[in-house]
């Protein structure tokens, strides 16, 4: 069960009238949300036959591959990767290693990767809802050529999996042309909201994450809508009081990429039309010795959301880590930096499902409170337009 503490440090920072006024819009915003045609990730459940197909593919990949290459970026990449990082033991070698690529077109990284892959059995899952994203198309073509060099076409057909929309795009054409196994990201689910689709369920499943438990928590997480809305209201009131930056702070390094995932959810959903809160993150104690100075003593544009988690069994270390966390909360409060606390307890798959739904709902409500569309990302298109012109000239 998630525990929220939005009150302890809130009193001196929150304009109660403004807070109550925005709280009253809850039902209006809820209706706007659930009637939006991009809210299928909230209003619908993933089909059982889709889940079975994902599990069969994951088993086959694990039986036949030393490495699964996942080619994806943005919403098609971040959630599944971040969640896998929570459950991965970085010191333990896996029978099937999952490596994410496509986030950059770095030549040196690609060379090192291809070197590493020598003598290994490979499967590939390329994920892009549009099926047209340049970085993904380029990485996919390179890896497809590599696979065709390594295996016969018949074998490659059993080793490349395409996850894309059901209608059009380069990846759909490739799947149809070669007969690669295809998974669908439904039309009513956008990139950063597609955690409950095969885009993430397949790589997570290969990473040995129990996707049934994750999904049960994810759907149960809808019960936290009230808290997600209250959290969005507090963020909005903070912003109106000049707190333009939210720092997501964790004391467990395994949650680092999860904070990246949350940052993406808020930044792409509410950062538009000149509005929005800039999300940043800190992993402590590391960042207490860098950004910590600014947070405590610098420009007072920041408020914080601390995500507490109970991980590991060394009670003494856990006690020290908690003491540091609580001391920082007090110190920052004294330094005019308010904190909200979300305590997720032991992060099982179910709990991660719940908190994921919480943050996705909060991102939507926050965007609506800023009066922007939560489900588009027009700013992401700008660099793509300029790049296309440059590449075609």
Residues that bind ligand PA5 in the complex, under the rule CB under 6 A: 73-76, 128-130, 133, 136, 190-192, 268, 377, 380
Choosing from 289, 315, 316, 371, the catalytic residue is 289
In the 8-state DSSP scheme, what is residue 167?
Answer: S
Q: Which residue's Cβ lies closest to ligand PA5?
A: 191
Sheet harboring 122-127: ordered strands across? 97-101, 67-71, 122-127, 160-164, 181-184
Q: Is the Cβ of residue 1 or residue 380 nearer to ligand PA5 in the bound state?
A: 380
Question: Is there a cis peptide before residue 59, judged by omega within 30 degrees of 0?
Answer: no
Q: Is the Cβ of residue 54 or residue 71 nearer to ligand PA5 in the bound state?
A: 71
8 A C-beta contact, residue 163 and residue 125: yes
Choosing from 3, 120, 155, 384, the catalytic residue is 384
Minimum separation from the CB atom of position 42 to ligand PA5 (A): 15
Minimum separation from the CB atom of position 265 to ligand PA5 (A): 8
Minimum separation from the CB atom of position 104 to ligand PA5 (A): 14
Q: Is the Cβ of residue 171 or residue 309 nearer to ligand PA5 in the bound state?
A: 171
Please state whether beta strands 122-127 and 160-164 pair in parallel, antiparallel, or not at all (unpaired). parallel
Minimum separation from the CB atom of position 361 to ligand PA5 (A): 16
Minimum separation from the CB atom of position 170 to ligand PA5 (A): 10
289 is an active site residue: yes
Q: Is the Cβ of residue 140 or residue 251 nearer to ligand PA5 in the bound state?
A: 140
318's tokens: 């856990």
Minimum separation from the CB atom of position 191 to ligand PA5 (A): 2
Q: What is the C-alpha separation between 195 and 17, in angstroms, rounded?
A: 36
174 is an active site residue: no
Q: Is the Cβ of residue 257 or residue 303 nearer to ligand PA5 in the bound state?
A: 257
8 A C-beta contact, residue 89 and residue 213: no
N-to-C CA span, the chain: 55
Q: Which residue has the tokens 């438990």?
A: 213
Contacts of 269 (CB under 8 A, 6+ apart): 192, 363, 364, 366, 367, 374, 375
Choosing from 252, 268, 349, 354, the catalytic residue is 268
Q: Which residues of 30-65 are buried (b: 16+ CB within 10 A; e: fewer)?
A: beebeebebbbbbeeebeeebbebbeebbebbbeeb
Q: Is the Cβ of residue 291 or residue 364 nearer to ligand PA5 in the bound state?
A: 364
142's tokens: 């390179």
The number of residues making up the chain comes to: 393
Q: Is the Cβ of residue 128 or residue 282 nearer to ligand PA5 in the bound state?
A: 128
226's tokens: 């009230």
Sheet harboring 245-250: ordered strands across? 3-5, 339-343, 302-308, 245-250, 278-283
Minimum separation from the CB atom of position 40 to ligand PA5 (A): 14
Q: Helices 198-206 and 48-64 sit at what angle, rounded to 10 degrees?
A: 40
Q: What is the C-alpha separation between 193 and 178, in angstroms, rounded?
A: 29
Positions annotated as catalytic residues are: 268, 289, 384
């Amino acid at each position: 069960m998630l525990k929220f503490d939005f009150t302890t440090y809130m009193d001196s920072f929150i304009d109660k009238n403004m807070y109550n006024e925005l709280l009253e819009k809850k039902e209006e915003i809820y209706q706007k949300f659930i009637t939006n045609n991009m809210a299928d990730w909230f209003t619908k459940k993933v089909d059982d036959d889709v889940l079975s197909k994902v599990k069969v593919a994951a088993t086959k990949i694990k039986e036949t591959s030393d490495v699964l290459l996942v080619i994806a970026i943005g919403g098609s990449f971040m959630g599944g990767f971040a969640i896998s990082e929570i459950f991965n033991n970085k010191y333990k070698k896996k029978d099937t290693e999952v490596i994410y690529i496509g986030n950059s077109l770095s030549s040196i990284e690609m060379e090192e990767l291809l070197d590493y892959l020598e003598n290994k059995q490979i499967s590939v899952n390329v994920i892009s809802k549009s099926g047209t994203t340049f970085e993904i198309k380029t990485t996919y073509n390179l890896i497809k050529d590599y696979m065709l060099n390594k295996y016969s076409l018949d074998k490659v057909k059993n080793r490349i999996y395409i996850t894309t929309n059901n209608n059009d795009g380069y990846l759909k054409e490739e799947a149809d042309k070669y007969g690669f196994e295809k998974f669908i990201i439904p039309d009513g689910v956008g990139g950063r909201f597609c955690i409950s689709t095969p885009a993430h369920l397949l790589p997570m499943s290969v990473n040995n994450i129990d996707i049934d438990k994750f999904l049960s928590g994810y759907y149960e997480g809808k019960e936290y809508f009230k808290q997600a809305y209250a959290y969005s209201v507090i963020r909005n009131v903070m912003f109106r009081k000049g707190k333009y930056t939210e720092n997501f702070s964790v004391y467990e390094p395994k949650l680092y990429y999860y904070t990246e995932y949350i940052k993406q959810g808020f930044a792409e959903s509410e950062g538009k039309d000149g509005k929005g809160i800039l999300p940043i993150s800190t992993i402590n104690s590391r960042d207490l010795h860098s950004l910590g100075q600014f947070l405590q003593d610098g420009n007072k544009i920041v408020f914080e959301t601390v995500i507490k988690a109970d991980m590991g069994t060394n009670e003494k270390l856990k006690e020290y880590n908690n003491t540091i966390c609580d001391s920082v909360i007090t110190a920052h409060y004294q330094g005019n930096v308010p904190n909200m606390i979300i305590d997720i307890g032991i992060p099982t798959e179910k709990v991660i499902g719940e908190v994921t739904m919480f943050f996705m709902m909060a991102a939507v409500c926050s965007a609506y409170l800023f009066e922007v569309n939560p489900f588009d990302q027009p700013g992401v298109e700008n660099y793509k337009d300029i790049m296309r012109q440059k590449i075609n000239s």
